[in-house]
């Protein structure tokens, strides 16, 4: 059984976001790139499944759409424990294009389970996973907080609006995963880092790009008014302010 | 031509979110000079369906099919695809909740539609179709242009509000063509949360962090939440320690919420936490440390012990409600 993790290369959460070219593009100067946190949890869970005796998982592959500058992040995923990686040599644009590039690359490659993080921490769309499953015409399960496998059949727990459900799904399928699938991302070991250097990283060329949504301009949010402080012994005043001034209770 | 809106129901009933979606769809229909058509999947009474007219739906396509009693992404996307084609939809509106996130991407591929996800307001212009959305976890806003003839928008809850228009919607039965291929996942067990306000629905959220010291101290958080009709949430260390369930974790890798009021007790406000709550309209912070970063994000703050402030806050809220 083979698992594929779709991985996005995003600015570190603590990055100060700045724009350039008249606020039309992200200024990447000094930006630290990381594996999208939800994708990192997906990778962690895939590796746990692979290590489970009898799970039947033989291989965990990561795939990303990005130029050569995405490679350090891919090497990190290999250091964490992925067996190999695929980079589609294209600047990631909108969700549709990214999903299509991945679907084209992995169609007929025999992945039993495809895992995607529930959203990427840069464009916050939550779209790529579901789109890949539609391109591949395979079932998708979203907001997944647990994946277990027993003799080829997957048990999935997902959150719905107002509760939780347990589902049974047969491969191949795609799961869009969120917290719960794993709690802490795995950290690469020294041995992992050494091994990552020689693990296969295949670079493939993209199909002709089709972009449906363009980001034309960015703005920083207006700077926030200073926090209004209320004395510790005057909680009643705060409640009044929330009622009469902020009008939120 | 039309603006199509998917109105989800909960045990046969609509809720505020459903009406908000119709209000929003109707406002866009006004900009495009077209009608608003709702799609309902499930066993919903005609009284409930016609009431969508009050918020601007002129017609409701009602799909009743027992196979759709549980959310099956493929099948739901297929239903909406057929409805969008039939109604010649220019825009499809749905919620930016678990259901919307499950269906919208599949529908987008079927319709070859550009998606605006997590939208909080009306388009800036409809020609070209330009709209604002947040990016980088709320650290920026983007203006996007959707270049396709059909667009899908997922609306953030509580961002648009309700707008009554006073009509009555005509109900039409709609029988989409579904095959076994659309039903490849099967639900074996469902556990519903009852009698609790959902975190993603809530207009007010009361949240606790490590400063609450331990799970045994959560009673006042819950009591304040009850008094305010609020949902409860927590920071990451709290859910990692197992003091509270993971579903309550707000922040990066947890839930991203945007209530009208977010109250943080004993939460320092790490950037990862703020990523999940910074879109809240009003933030109140109570923390012992005057230098805690939460005060930079907050609108109102108290430097003090959350455990001492909470009972006083409960009393003050009760008093205010008694007025």
pLDDT over 90 (residue B195): no
Verify whether the Cβ–Cβ distance B295 to A227 is below 8 Å: yes
Residue A44 within a domain: yes
Among B109, B137, B299, select the one facing A135 at the smallest CB separation: B109
Instruction: Report the SS3 class of residue B301.
Output: strand
pLDDT over 90 (residue B172): yes
> Closest Cα of chain A to B224: distance in Å?
12
Contacts of B244 (CB under 8 A, 6+ apart): B208, B215, B218, B232, B234, B238
Tell me how many degrees the CA angle A76-A79-A85 measures, rounded to the nearest 5: 70
Residue A89 within a domain: yes
**Cis bond leading into B128, ω under 30°?**
yes
Residue-level pLDDT at A183: 86
> Which CATH number does the domain housing residue B163 bear?
3.40.50.620
Q: Does B253 touch chain A (CB under 8 A)?
A: yes
> Does B121 share its domain with B208?
no
Q: Which residues in chain B are contacts of A182 at CB distance < 8 A?
A: none
**Strands B140-146 vs A213-219: parallel, antiparallel or unpaired:** antiparallel
* Total number of domains constituting chain B: 2
pLDDT over 80 (residue B323): no
> Which CATH number does the domain housing residue A86 bear?
3.40.50.620
CB burial of residue A22 (10 Å; 0-12, 13-18, 19+): exposed
Higher pLDDT, B184 or A192: A192
Band the pLDDT of B304: cuts 50, 70, 90: very high
> Does B136 share its domain with B246?
no
> Does B120 share its domain with B223?
no
Among B191, B240, B301, select the one facing A163 at the smallest CB separation: B191
CB burial of residue B293 (10 Å; 0-12, 13-18, 19+): middle
Q: Which residues in chain B are contacts of A131 at CB distance < 8 A?
A: 105-106, 108-109
Residue A237 within a domain: no
- Scanning B184-203 for CB atoms below 8 A from A yields 184-193, 198, 200-201
Structural domain containing residue A74: 2-220
Verify whether the Cβ–Cβ distance B140 to A221 is below 8 Å: yes
Residue-level pLDDT at A222: 84
Residue-level pLDDT at B166: 76
Residue A34 within a domain: yes
Residue B135 within a domain: yes
> Which CATH number does the domain housing residue B226 bear?
3.40.50.1220
pLDDT over 90 (residue A10): yes
> Does B150 share its domain with B225?
no
pLDDT over 90 (residue A162): no
> Does B210 share its domain with B128?
no
Residue A230 within a domain: no
> Closest Cα of chain B to A108: distance in Å?
18
Among A96, A123, A126, select the one facing B101 at the smallest CB separation: A126
Count of CB contacts below 8 A, A vs B?
A: 271
Residue-level pLDDT at B322: 86
Please give the mean pLDDT across all residues of chain B: 95
Per-residue pLDDT reduced to its tens digit, A180-208 = 899 889 999 999 999 999 999 999 999 99
Residue B187 within a domain: no
Residue-level pLDDT at B256: 87
Structural domain containing residue B77: 2-182
Per-residue pLDDT reduced to its tens digit, B104-135 = 999 999 999 999 999 999 999 999 999 999 88
Please give the mean pLDDT across all residues of chain A: 94
Residue-level pLDDT at A100: 98
Q: A interface mutation test: which of B74, B136, B236, B256 has the most A CBs within 10 A?
A: B136
pLDDT over 80 (residue B193): no
> Closest Cα of chain A to B147: distance in Å?
5
> Does B6 share its domain with B77?
yes
Q: Is the dihedral of CA B152, B183, B98, A103 positive or negative?
A: negative
φ, ψ for residue B295, nearest 5 deg:
-70, -20
Residue A53 within a domain: yes
Q: DSSP letters along B97-108, please?
A: SHHHHHHHHHHH
Instruction: Report the SS3 class of residue A45.
Output: helix
> Does B210 share its domain with B99?
no
Q: What is the mean pLDDT of residues B263-275?
A: 95
Verify whether the Cβ–Cβ distance B109 to A131 is below 8 Å: yes
What is the C-alpha to C-alpha distance for residues A242 and A249, in angstroms, rounded to an integer?
6
* Total number of domains constituting chain A: 1
> Does B176 share its domain with B314?
no
φ, ψ for residue B127, nearest 5 deg:
-140, 95
Q: What is the mean pLDDT of residues A79-105?
A: 97
Residue B188 within a domain: no
Residue A50 within a domain: yes
Residue A226 within a domain: no
Q: B interface mutation test: which of A6, A179, A210 has the most B CBs within 10 A?
A: A179
> Does B145 share its domain with B240?
no
> Does B171 share its domain with B209?
no
> Does B150 share its domain with B291?
no
ipTM > 0.90? yes
Residue-level pLDDT at B253: 84
């Amino acid at each position: 059984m083979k698992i594929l993790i779709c991985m996005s290369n995003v600015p570190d959460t603590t990055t100060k976001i700045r724009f350039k070219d008249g606020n039309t593009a992200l200024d990447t100067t000094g930006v630290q790139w990381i594996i999208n946190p939800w994708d990192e949890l997906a990778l962690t869970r895939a590796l746990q499944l692979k290590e489970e005796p009898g799970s039947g998982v033989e291989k965990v592959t990561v795939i990303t759409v990005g130029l050569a500058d995405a490679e350090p992040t891919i090497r990190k995923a290999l250091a964490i424990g992925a067996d190999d990686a695929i980079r589609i040599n294209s600047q990631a644009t909108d969700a549709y294009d990214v999903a299509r590039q991945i679907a084209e690359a992995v169609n007929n490659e025999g992945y039993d389970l495809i895992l995607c993080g529930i959203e990427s921490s840069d464009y916050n769309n939550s779209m790529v996973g579901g789109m890949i499953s539609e391109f591949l015409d395979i079932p998708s399960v979203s907001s997944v907080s647990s994946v277990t496998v027993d003799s080829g059949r997957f048990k999935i727990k997902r959150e719905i609006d107002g509760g939780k459900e347990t589902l049974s799904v047969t491969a191949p399928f795609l799961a869009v995963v969120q917290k719960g699938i794993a709690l802490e991302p795995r950290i690469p070991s020294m041995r992992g880092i050494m091994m990552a250097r020689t693990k296969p990283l295949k670079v493939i060329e993209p199909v002709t790009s089709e972009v449906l949504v363009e980001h034309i301009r960015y703005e920083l949010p207006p700077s926030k008014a200073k926090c209004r402080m209320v004395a510790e012994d005057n909680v009643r005043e705060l409640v009044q302010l929330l009622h009469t001034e902020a009008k939120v209770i | 031509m039309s603006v199509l809106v998917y109105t989800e129901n909960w045990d046969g009933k609509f809720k505020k979110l459903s009406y908000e979606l119709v209000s929003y769809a109707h406002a866009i229909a006004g900009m495009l000079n077209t009608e608003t058509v709702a799609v309902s999947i499930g066993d919903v009474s005609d009284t409930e369906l016609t009431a969508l007219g009050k918020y601007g739906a002129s017609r409701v396509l009602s799909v009743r099919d027992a196979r759709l009693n549980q959310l099956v992404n493929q099948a739901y996307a297929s239903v909406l695809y057929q409805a969008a084609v039939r109604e010649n939809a220019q825009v499809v509106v749905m919620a930016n909740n678990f259901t919307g996130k499950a269906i919208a991407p599949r529908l987008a591929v079927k319709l070859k539609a550009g998606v605006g996800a997590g939208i909080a307001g009306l388009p800036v212009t409809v020609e070209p179709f330009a709209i604002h959305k947040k990016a980088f976890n709320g650290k920026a806003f983007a203006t996007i242009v959707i270049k396709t003839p059909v667009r899908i928008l997922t609306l953030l809850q509580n961002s648009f509000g309700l707008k009554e228009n006073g009509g009555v919607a005509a109900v039409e039965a709609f029988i989409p063509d579904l095959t076994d291929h659309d039903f490849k996942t099967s639900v074996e067990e469902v556990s519903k949360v009852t009698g609790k306000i959902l975190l993603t629905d809530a207009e007010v959220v009361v949240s606790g962090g490590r400063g609450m010291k331990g799970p045994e101290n959560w009673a006042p958080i819950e009591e304040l939440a009850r008094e305010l009709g609020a949902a409860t949430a927590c920071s990451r260390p709290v859910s990692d320690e197992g003091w509270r369930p993971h579903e309550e974790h707000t922040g990066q890798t947890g839930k991203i919420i945007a209530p009208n009021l977010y109250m943080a007790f004993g939460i320092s406000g790490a950037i990862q936490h703020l990523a999940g709550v910074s879109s809240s309209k009003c933030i109140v912070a109570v923390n012992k440390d005057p230098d805690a970063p939460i005060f930079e994000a907050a609108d109102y703050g108290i430097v003090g012990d959350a455990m001492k402030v909470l009972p006083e806050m409960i009393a003050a809220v009760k008093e205010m409600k008694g007025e």
